[in-house]
Structure 1
Amino acid sequence: MTEVLLIVVSLADVPRLLGLVERLCSAGLTIRVALAVPASAAAADVEEQLGGDVAEVRLVRMNLSGRRGGVAPARFSRRWTKVVARNLLVRGGVRVADDERRGWLMVRYDPWIRRRARVADLILAADQDAERAAELAAGHNRDAVRLTATDPALDGVLAQLATTVPLRRVLRQGLARTTAEEVVLAWKRVVADPADPHLGDFAGEAVRVVHALRRGHAFEEAEVVARTAQSLDLPPVDRAALRVELAANQIAAGGYPARELGEAVRELLGFADDALRAGDLEAAGRMAVQATEAVLHRELHADVLTSPLLADPEGFLAPLRESLTFRALRAPAGSMAWVLSGTGSDPRPEPSAGPESSPESSSESPVAPELPASLAPATTLTGPPPRLPGTPAPHRVLVVPGDYPHFTQGIINALADEPDLEVRVLNLREPGVRRRYQRGALVLDRLRDAVGRPVPAPAQPDADLLEWADTIFVDWCDNAAQWVGIHAPRTTRLVVRFHSLEAISSQPHMVDWSQVSEVIFVGRHVRELVERAVPELTRVPGRHVVPNEMRLERFGAPKRAGAERTLAMVGWAQRVKDPLWALEVLARLRASDPTWRLLLIGRDFSPHQHAGALRYQDEFRERAAADDVRDGLVYVGYTTELPDVLRDAGFVLSASRREGFPVGPTEGAASGAVPVVRDWPMYADYAGAGGIFPADWVVRSPEEAADRILAHADPERRAEAGDAARRYVVEHFDWPVVEPTFREVLLGTLDA
């Protein structure tokens, strides 16, 4: 709705004022009235009459306290003296001034006016006496239109605002202060008359309007805007961007326009390549970001049952990998300077992974039969770091947590206890230092780095830490890995760890892997996918599979009564964890024995999720309320006492669609619960769950899960299987077992 701030400084003609308000309200505007008049019975009566028609009425009240930051000036201080003198003048002026002067003074000293003016689209003086006050209010909002109610242009301005306000708001704030319906109506006016000087600029914003509607989950309205925008006379590059945005919108709504997506991305990246050759790195970067947003959309890959990326990494990513822009994004620093020379061809062909470094031919240490495949190192290192532990000076390790820093805290604590190490932490998300850490800035800086253009230097505190380190460990290959790869000294050892989400994200395709010394994967299945999706990574000297840091010995307490009929899910309220699948397991168990329970341990669903996840949440709520499972659900919530809570669980269930290394189920097994692990559908073709856990733990359906549980329902057999599971995970995955390998990889001391 269009916001109007109506300023009234005289009540000489109340009927005309009421008529004006009625006229504005009939135009569908949100009206807020400021009565800058002396308090009186007449003013109170007008306030009451207007109250039922407008959004807000205020009798303007001056704030003359002189407070700054909520603190009043000290009595008899210099500032207090100035405030007292000012107040005498202002109050005296209000008493003796005419309507125009009095209204101006009252509006100047009322903070409510400032707040409302800043969000107003139209600041309207009720009559000529209110013009100065309206002008003062408009000084708080340069974008607002300022008029007098008697201006003959008012009707035209109101009609214009009906179009411009929803579009301006959606471009600036999404759907926070407008509705998708208002945006579509406004857009149709643009399409109907794109030559209108007041509307023409919006025609070129079609992509941004569709994007904003998509981000607000208004998919149908976004489709309407995208389709109608195709009738406009847009530049070819805008048409290509619009096609990509339309495909992204259809994906976000739950579809997969495979052919249209590939064609649109290739077309857009063709323009990105042209921009790159012309030296317009900003434009090339913007188009690269838009392309990856569509190709690597969460609805296609993050928490689904099947992903086209996992099914065929090489084919699915071809539109990106064929692009010159994406070649630059993954190229070594300075190696793409030829792009800007105008020669049009690379004098140095892009190196291939080569047989000596391909995933299939990488030399690997033999795996002992009793060890799970996920613990085998993928390669050996070529040499030690410049300064090894044991020398007089400690080895300096800088840890850079990614977007999920809790995965790193245990490692930080462990390294800090080592006498031959000095550990510092650089959390790029901490406030206080300005960083070019957002996706668009990182993509632009990576392009600058690749073509040899100067990259803005990091803040001095960050630069000092990067220079200080002998080894930098970046947990998660997300924005942090991109940032460190751009700014770290070329002589510093750089170690990057992959979990699972990054394998289906854009950042690994935008890293200079020639600078990286070691890559750690938490699971072999993650490594296999990433090496197929990002062949450049196979040239990294050291590639290793090392599980997450877990302290499992603490989970050894005896089970309590009732555990023999209790399942547990640790960390459940996400679509990727698929608690609906767990409900089907519970339903099958309770069909023959209603004493079965399912403990749901962890926080509930977040309200801030993508559209598919929100739909999934609704499906879960409906299924959880059904008679066959409702009374068997126990919502435990978040706990810091997980070892104690798991004493109530005889079975631990992993229902996930995708995992890197599943910490919750492993901790459940360490508690002596019998593990029941779904063969994670997204990684089923990569031997995901089976590559980490024994084959008899892994099931493929709720029926198989129920059968495994019932096969261990006998208390003695359940206890025996639980003890065996505990021994297995403690022997293979407990931190004292994993830590030596992790340390050797991190510091470069792993023997050949």
Structure 2
Amino acid sequence: MTEVLLISALPRGWTSARELAARLVAAGHVVRIGHAYDVSSLPPPAEGVEARRLRFKSAGLVRSTAVRLAGRLGGAAARTFLYAKYDPWLRTEGRRADAVVAVDRAAAWAVRQATSANAEARIAAVGLDALPLVAARGGPATTLRKLLDRGMTAASPASVVAAWRAVVSSPGDATLAEFVPHAATIAQLLRRNLSFAEAREVASSGLGLALPADVRERTELELATALVSCGEPAPADLGDLVRAVLRQADEALDAGSLEVAANRVLEAVEALFNRELHADVLASPLAADPDAFLAPLRESRVFGVLGTSAESSGVSPTRTERLLIVPGDYPNFTKPIIEEFSGLPGLEVRVLDLKAKATPPRRRGQYDLILDRLRAATGAAVPPPAPADAALLEWADTIFVDWCDNAAVWTTLHAPRSARIAVRFHSLEAISHQVHVIDWSRVSDVVFVADHVRALVSQAAPEVAVGPRVHVAPNAMHLERFGAPKAPGADRTIAIVGWAQRVKDPLWALDVLAALRAVDPSWKLLLMGRDFQDRAHLSAMRHRDKFRARAVLDEVRDGIRYLPFTDDVPAALQAAGFVLSSSRREGFPVGVTEGAASGAVPVVRNWPMYAHYGGARGTFPPDWVVDDVDEAVQRILAHADPEVRAKAGAAARSYVVEHFDWTVIRPKYQDILL
């Protein structure tokens, strides 16, 4: 379980690299090879050995070009040294390795660079001569101690699991016994690293050990969270597991241990608000029965404290002359607001981007925000924001926070009481934990982009509707600019604007396309926007794989067109006679609204997660909304005649422009913010 990094500079060293790696793997070590040359025509290393060709990655075009030129002009030693300096993978592995070995002498310089922040890992011997020195390094205790001291930057998931297996298999080993009480923490570190299967193994095997009672409760919750993160159903006793850990939080709060209390709260909300339960699903247990699902929170004293309002002081301004806009984690929806208000006479607008770097770094992690909220609620001192941030907050008459996420928690903690705060909800926040840790007495106005989001939040967090003014106002959209004449072929083309996410459910759209093409093979599905992300949560990756497998089947393959992201959406929508919303959950859907504004006939799935709250039928005319694939197909075929389609498309355009164009919505936002 010692982590060994081998660096090879010369192709003739590949044989030595393979032999050294094989011997180390046989001795139980985790081995990686970084090589500065192409090995595609050479024999592969032993099974289980990760081999990576090194590359340059330097910030800035000029610097990157200079580094690449130096690499080409220099010899093998200089080139491999530059790889060690600029290859992100090698830098990461060099920091967490227990031993870093030069396979050939030309790599010695690179080894020194790779271990510049981890000098104790440097092995002086070269090649096979390093074997005795590596054998003296590491072991399970070293791996787990590094993990607990420095987190997952210090150890790979494979080495952590190997080390933990040694703990489980040797319960009488006094050296390893010290790690038994850390079972929950070790599983948690793996889970937060998205190593869900490894976290599941550690938690499951840990429960077979003689754990202290509090560690057992935390480990049971960690196992449940790991299972849910792997796509498994939530255990029936999830609420009881959360209650047990929140009781620990209550006890820590009573003892004045706010750091422990904050940690336990975070563990509880990571389980209860796990995105696999709510974000991209057809039915969320929170949305289905907020009172029952959130009962563990409402029963806990610590959440009672988190919901405590501070004493009000100061006077909110009656007129806003200085507006500070704080984008949340998804800033694209904020840009139109910034653009529109920046041009108003008598109003100065500034933007505080909390995702940008700051000195000192902002306390925006989940744990830090929960801890600081506990401090504020109990009268303890809260670390102040950076001077530049504090100056912006003091400057503002009104602060508009888009998205009720970490940015909203941070702003309500640090804004002066002389400033008025408005917070806008989209959709995801209704099923997230942040709404439950904000002091809502600090907020003067709450904006929901749709009434069904307001309805869910009102049930899940009734305190949001007590005190702040509540508004329903959709996103800013300039819909008049749509409506150019349709292109040939539009009458048989259905578009989805922004499609490649599980929550958008493009698989459902393929079901619609398959049924249509069974009637008439001329039907097309136009998928507009970026493709799936390369890295996302597990269920999203599974959905991506299912979509790609389905999209190449004969029944749909020839009917799919992909249009990459474009800024000219009105022009792109000229190709579409229909626009489809196949989503499982929506706040206010910009894509289908813009499609309707283009004169496309809207076909809107009755978003399953919000159907109980009015959802799509409360947002659009009921005849636009369909409950299943068959109804979607029937609605499309009923408008297949070009004249019928054109008439319905024109009516849809008139409706959305009349109800949702910025000229209609602007006065609502002016009233809220000014």
Provide the TM-score with structure 1 as the length reference: 0.75
- Counterpart residue number, 1:559: 486
Q: 1:541 deviation in Å?
A: 3.4
- Counterpart residue number, 1:97: none
- Counterpart residue number, 1:11: none
Q: Taking structure 1 as reference, are residues 142 and 232 closer, same or farther at Cα in structure 2, changes over 3 Å only?
A: farther
User: Is residue 244–residue 264 contact of structure 1 (8 Å, CA) maintained in 2?
Assistant: yes
- Counterpart residue number, 1:629: 556
How many angstroms apart in 2 are the aligned matches of 1:125 and 1:706? Answer: 63
In the alignment, does 2:350 pair up with 1:424?
yes
- Counterpart residue number, 2:445: 518
How many angstroms apart in 2 are the aligned matches of 1:136 and 1:686? Answer: 58
User: Is residue 171–residue 212 contact of structure 1 (8 Å, CA) maintained in 2?
Assistant: no
How many angstroms apart in 2 are the aligned matches of 1:552 and 1:22? Answer: 64
Q: Taking structure 1 as reference, are residues 682 and 151 closer, same or farther at Cα in structure 2, changes over 3 Å only?
A: closer
Match of 1:740 among 663, 667, 670: 667
Match of 1:274 among 251, 255, 258: 251
Which residues in structure 2 correspond to 1:427-446 (within 5 Å)?
A: 427-433=353-359, 434-446=361-373
- Counterpart residue number, 1:685: 612
Which residues in structure 2 correspond to 1:56-205 (within 5 Å)?
A: 118-122=95-99, 141=118, 144=121, 157=136, 161=139, 164-165=142-143, 168=146, 174=152, 178=156, 180=158, 182-194=159-171, 196-205=173-182
- Counterpart residue number, 2:284: 307
How many angstroms apart in 1 are the aligned matches of 2:20 and 2:669? Answer: 74
Which residues in structure 2 correspond to 1:358-437 (within 5 Å)?
A: 386-388=317-319, 395-433=321-359, 434-437=361-364
Paired letter, 1:605: F
In the alignment, does 2:293 pair up with 1:316?
yes
How many angstroms apart in 2 are the aligned matches of 1:497 and 1:707? Answer: 36
Q: 1:221 deviation in Å?
A: 3.9
Instruction: Give the alignment's Cα RMSD to 1 decimal.
Output: 3.9
Q: 1:186 deviation in Å?
A: 2.5
How many angstroms apart in 2 are the aligned matches of 1:152 and 1:584? Answer: 58
Which residues in structure 2 correspond to 1:423-572 (within 5 Å)?
A: 423-433=349-359, 434-572=361-499
Q: 1:52 deviation in Å?
A: 8.9
How many angstroms apart in 1 are the aligned matches of 2:3 and 2:450? Answer: 55
User: Is residue 358–residue 386 contact of structure 2 (8 Å, CA) maintained in 1?
Assistant: no
- SS of aligned partner of 1:553: coil
Q: Which moved more, 1:657-666 or 1:405-414?
A: 405-414
Q: What do the CA deviations read for 1:475-502 (whole angstroms, capped 9, x no partner)?
A: 0000010001001111321100000000
Paired letter, 2:203: A
Q: 1:157 deviation in Å?
A: 3.8
How many angstroms apart in 2 are the aligned matches of 1:464 and 1:229? Answer: 49
Paired letter, 2:659: H
User: Is residue 275–residue 283 contact of structure 1 (8 Å, CA) maintained in 2?
Assistant: yes
User: Is residue 164–residue 199 contact of structure 1 (8 Å, CA) maintained in 2?
Assistant: no
How many angstroms apart in 2 are the aligned matches of 1:584 and 1:659? Answer: 20
Paired letter, 2:269: T
- SS of aligned partner of 2:354: coil
Q: What do the CA deviations read for 1:384-424 (whole angstroms, capped 9, x no partner)?
A: 952426xxxxx111111111111111111111111121111
- Counterpart residue number, 1:706: 633
How many angstroms apart in 2 are the aligned matches of 1:549 and 1:496? Answer: 15
User: Is residue 334–residue 452 contact of structure 1 (8 Å, CA) maintained in 2?
Assistant: no
- Counterpart residue number, 1:227: 204
- SS of aligned partner of 2:179: helix
Paired letter, 2:202: V
How many angstroms apart in 2 are the aligned matches of 1:577 and 1:111? Answer: 43
Q: What do the CA deviations read for 1:234-293 (whole angstroms, capped 9, x no partner)?
A: 332222211111110111122233432111110111010110111111110011011001
In the alignment, does 2:5 pair up with 1:27?
no
- SS of aligned partner of 1:331: coil
User: Is residue 167–residue 183 contact of structure 1 (8 Å, CA) maintained in 2?
Assistant: no
How many angstroms apart in 2 are the aligned matches of 1:574 and 1:287? Answer: 31
Q: Taking structure 1 as reference, are residues 150 and 745 closer, same or farther at Cα in structure 2, changes over 3 Å only?
A: closer
Q: Taking structure 1 as reference, are residues 111 and 738 closer, same or farther at Cα in structure 2, changes over 3 Å only?
A: closer
How many angstroms apart in 2 are the aligned matches of 1:171 and 1:334? Answer: 40
Paired letter, 1:422: E
Q: What do the CA deviations read for 1:99-122 (whole angstroms, capped 9, x no partner)?
A: xxxxxxx99x98899979755413
Q: Gaps spanning 5+ residues in structure 1: where?
A: 8-17, 35-50, 57-67, 73-105, 127-133, 336-383, 390-394, 748-752
User: Is residue 163–residue 189 contact of structure 1 (8 Å, CA) maintained in 2?
Assistant: no
Q: Taking structure 1 as reference, are residues 219 and 432 closer, same or farther at Cα in structure 2, changes over 3 Å only?
A: closer
In the alignment, does 2:569 pair up with 1:642?
yes
Q: Taking structure 1 as reference, are residues 25 and 586 closer, same or farther at Cα in structure 2, changes over 3 Å only?
A: closer
How many angstroms apart in 2 are the aligned matches of 1:695 and 1:199? Answer: 64
Q: Which moved more, 1:557-566 or 1:189-198?
A: 189-198
Q: Taking structure 1 as reference, are residues 515 and 113 closer, same or farther at Cα in structure 2, changes over 3 Å only?
A: closer
Q: What percent identity do the matched residue pairs reach? A: 53
Q: What do the CA deviations read for 1:569-594 (whole angstroms, capped 9, x no partner)?
A: 00000010001111111111111111
Q: What do the CA deviations read for 1:616-652 (whole angstroms, capped 9, x no partner)?
A: 1111111111111110000001011110010110000
Paired letter, 2:229: A
- Counterpart residue number, 1:377: none
How many angstroms apart in 2 are the aligned matches of 1:6 and 1:552? Answer: 58
Q: 1:185 deviation in Å?
A: 3.6
How many angstroms apart in 1 are the aligned matches of 2:249 and 2:295? Answer: 16
User: Is residue 601–residue 648 contact of structure 2 (8 Å, CA) maintained in 1?
Assistant: yes
In the alignment, does 2:645 pair up with 1:715?
no
How many angstroms apart in 1 are the aligned matches of 2:294 and 2:598? Answer: 42
- Counterpart residue number, 1:286: 263
How many angstroms apart in 1 are the aligned matches of 2:258 and 2:317? Answer: 36
Paired letter, 1:260: D
Q: Which moved more, 1:424-433 or 1:728-737?
A: 424-433
User: Is residue 206–residue 229 contact of structure 1 (8 Å, CA) maintained in 2?
Assistant: yes
User: Is residue 254–residue 299 contact of structure 1 (8 Å, CA) maintained in 2?
Assistant: yes
- Counterpart residue number, 1:2: 2
Q: Taking structure 1 as reference, are residues 135 and 698 closer, same or farther at Cα in structure 2, changes over 3 Å only?
A: closer
Q: What do the CA deviations read for 1:506-561 (whole angstroms, capped 9, x no partner)?
A: 11001000111110000110001001111111212310101110000000211111
Paired letter, 1:306: A
- Counterpart residue number, 2:225: 248
Q: Which moved more, 1:491-500 or 1:257-266?
A: 257-266
Q: 1:197 deviation in Å?
A: 4.8
- SS of aligned partner of 2:263: helix
- SS of aligned partner of 2:481: helix
How many angstroms apart in 2 are the aligned matches of 1:562 and 1:730? Answer: 25
User: Is residue 441–residue 468 contact of structure 2 (8 Å, CA) maintained in 1?
Assistant: no
- SS of aligned partner of 1:554: coil
Paired letter, 2:27: A
Q: Taking structure 1 as reference, are residues 703 and 161 closer, same or farther at Cα in structure 2, changes over 3 Å only?
A: same
How many angstroms apart in 2 are the aligned matches of 1:461 and 1:192? Answer: 53
User: Is residue 400–residue 480 contact of structure 1 (8 Å, CA) maintained in 2?
Assistant: yes
Which structure has the larger Rg over C-alpha atoms? 1
- Counterpart residue number, 2:60: none
How many angstroms apart in 1 are the aligned matches of 2:407 and 2:142? Answer: 39
How many angstroms apart in 2 are the aligned matches of 1:745 and 1:324? Answer: 34
